[in-house]
Amino acid sequence: MYDKLEINRNKKLIVIIEENIRYQINYKRVPLFLTFFYIEFIKIMLKKRGANSTRHLNTHIVRFWDFCKEQNINSFDGFNPQITNYFIAYLNTSLTKIGGNKPLKQNTKRACYQAVYLFFEYSKFFYADDFKSLNYFNGEPFDVGEILTESIPEPILKDIKINLLSYHDIYVRTYILIALNYGMRYSEIIGLTDKCLIKNDLGKHKYDLHFKTSKGNRYRTIYSINNTITKEIQKLIEYSKEVRKKFNLDKIFAKASIHSKYGFVVYNNTVMNRKINKYLKENNIKHPSGEDFKITSHMFRRTIPEMYSKKGVDVYVAKEVLGHKNIATTQKYYDRTNEYEYEKSMGLAIEKISVFKNIEEIEISAVKENPEKFRIIEEGYCTNSDTVNSSKICPHLIGRGNCYGCPSMVTTPDYLPFFYNQLKIEKNNLDNVYEFGLDVARHYEWKIGIIKEIINKLEGLSNGS
């Protein structure tokens, strides 16, 4: 909830003071006949979402006001059943004003459309007489489908952790530690106050982290946070004590600044992104390909569910850590990670499949020459020297339940009948396991994919290609 709100109707400016931070919302481009309704809508959003989120919403809806001006819409009569399609077309043909006049990204168009939808929905509810016939801007024409923000590759995460605690900038250290471990949104981290640490009863140095969420404008607590993070937050509280006392602030990410007319700054997303990438550059942290890699603060949040998914952490645990309201939100990150891991494992298995034209070829003839190094199996030949001459069962066979897809297996077209039959068996198995969930089905899909690839390679050899 904001502390103070002023509306300057001459400058068409709404000024909000929330927790000692000043926000401005400009409504100069709002059509005159919608001005009253929009100001009331902003007041509602401020109560529900907070000042920062409402300010972002205002930046998105501005494109609708420009659209109204372009279409010469000066009254409610200007709205017609085609208005939704016209606005969609307008967004699809709009260009960015900065960054080289490029087409708008899908998530930007989606945010603009949703902002307009919210405005009309709330206006229809509170001012039914004026908006009752305006049943427009429904549906979701700009569904982004895939997750657009990248996660951070594991080698980069490792380098970040190695160099972090010795880095000179305490703001960067604290920020990355929190983002990397708990995936908090940037506004939640920079909004932390000097009262964010709450002592609990679980140990001498155990604290809970209490903060205000950027979505829903509510408070949330992460219990028993990591001791290293606790110490860094305590250091930052002490470090920022002087500037907070001087300017009556409670935000620990505040810093004195001679360049600010207020004498201080509270770091924002743009500044933090710049400082994080400066940290990467100073420590020569690059992408595994050797190219420079730029990080945005939200990438840490995207990385958390992927790390948890790879480690087998239950999706509901990730949901609680990230503070997602709906489990479906967390699940989509798990699904994307599983999809990536599935494709990666499939690609590696296919790459290592060894097939030969006939038994006379050099690699396979070695079976005759060195029988002690090979074992005949129903799929072809096993070349795993650790198990060929011993009575123990191959651990890969125990884990997989079969040998195809194992890099130690080699085969020839003579074994095509086995793979044709095995393909039928696995397809039948797949038809019967979907009810047990995607993870189970994926196991059989993986086997079918490997068998198909082996058959393709063997058929190619049989046909002389």
Biggest CA–CA distance in the chain, Å, is 95
Determine the Cα–Cα distance for residues 133 and 136; give it in Å rounded to an integer: 9
Say what the pLDDT of residue 236 is. Answer: 96
| CB of 437 closer than 8 Å to CB of 381 | no
| CB of 318 closer than 8 Å to CB of 335 | no
Say what the pLDDT of residue 362 is. Answer: 38
Inter-CA distances, 27 with 7, 211, 444, Å = 10, 30, 57
Alpha carbons within 13 angstroms on the beta-carbon side of residue 276 total: 27
Say what the pLDDT of residue 148 is. Answer: 47
Closest CA to 349 of 209, 450, 230, 203: 450
Q: Work out the burial of residue 184: count CB atoms within 10 Å of its CB; fewer than 13 is exposed, 13-18 middle, 19 or more buried.
A: buried
CA 325-331-335 angle, to 5 degrees, is 160
| CB of 188 closer than 8 Å to CB of 213 | yes
Q: Is 105 helix (H, G, I), strand (E, B) or coil?
A: coil
Say what the pLDDT of residue 411 is. Answer: 82
| CB of 294 closer than 8 Å to CB of 276 | no
Determine the Cα–Cα distance for residues 2 and 20; give it in Å rounded to an integer: 9
- Residue 374: left if φ>0, alpha if ψ -120 to 50, beta else—which one? beta
- For 375, the enclosing helix (H) or strand (E) is strand 375-377
Determine the Cα–Cα distance for residues 135 and 419; give it in Å rounded to an integer: 58
Which domains are delineated in the chain?
Answer: 4-131 (no CATH), 154-343 (1.10.443.10), 352-462 (no CATH)
Burial 414-451 (b: 16+ CB within 10 A, else e): ebbebbeebbeebeeebeeeeeeeeeebbbbbbbbbbb
| CB of 153 closer than 8 Å to CB of 303 | no
Phi, psi of 25 (to 5 degrees): -125, 115
Residue ranges of the chain with per-residue pLDDT less than 50: 146-148, 362, 364
Question: pTM higher than 0.85, yes or no?
Answer: no
Determine the Cα–Cα distance for residues 216 and 274; give it in Å rounded to an integer: 27
| CB of 407 closer than 8 Å to CB of 380 | no
Give the pLDDT confidence of 28-51 residue by residue, as tens digits.
999 999 999 999 999 988 888 888
Say what the pLDDT of residue 61 is. Answer: 94
DSSP string, 342-361: HHHHHHHHHHT-EE-S-TTS
DSSP string, 52-85: HHHHHHHHHHHHHHHHHHHTT--SGGG--TTHHH
Give the pLDDT confidence of 236-259 residue by residue, as tens digits.
999 999 999 999 999 999 999 888
CA 308 to chain centre: 13
239: which 2 tokens? 């470090």
